[in-house]
Amino acid sequence: MVETDSWTYHRGSVAFYADGERDLALRAQGFTVFRYTDEQLENEPERVVADVARALGVSGIPRG
């Protein structure tokens, strides 16, 4: 499961704590949770793609 976060939707503590609760519930069901910020997606997309690909066991991700 991939989740993305941004300051726009996580300004208050309610969203922050809700995300933590959701992560725990998903992990209890056997999911692996990957959480990335909007800044990571915008500034380091190759790093995020490589992280997800590594988790999926995919290699040789084409660069475009």
Residue 33 belongs to some domain of the structure: yes
Residue 62 inside a domain? The answer is: no
Report yes or no on 51 lying in a domain: yes
- 37 in any annotated domain: yes
Q: How much is the pLDDT for 27?
A: 92
Q: What is the pLDDT of residues 7-60, one digit of tens each?
A: 776 666 777 788 889 889 999 999 999 989 889 999 999 999 999 999 988 876
Angle at 45 between CA 41 and CA 46, to 5 degrees: 160
Residue 47 to residue 63: CA distance in whole angstroms: 12
Distance CA 60, CA 47 (A): 13
Domain that holds residue 37: 2-56
Count of structural domains, the chain: 1
Q: Do the domain assignments include residue 31? A: yes
**What's the pTM?**
0.69
What are the pLDDT digits (tens) for 2-20?
877 777 766 667 777 888 8
Q: Is residue 63 part of a domain?
A: no
The encoded tokens of residue 11 equal 């300004």
pLDDT at 19: 83
In a domain, 64, yes or no: no
Residues 6+ apart with CB under 8 A from 10: 16, 19
Give dist(CA 15, CA 20) in Å, integer: 9
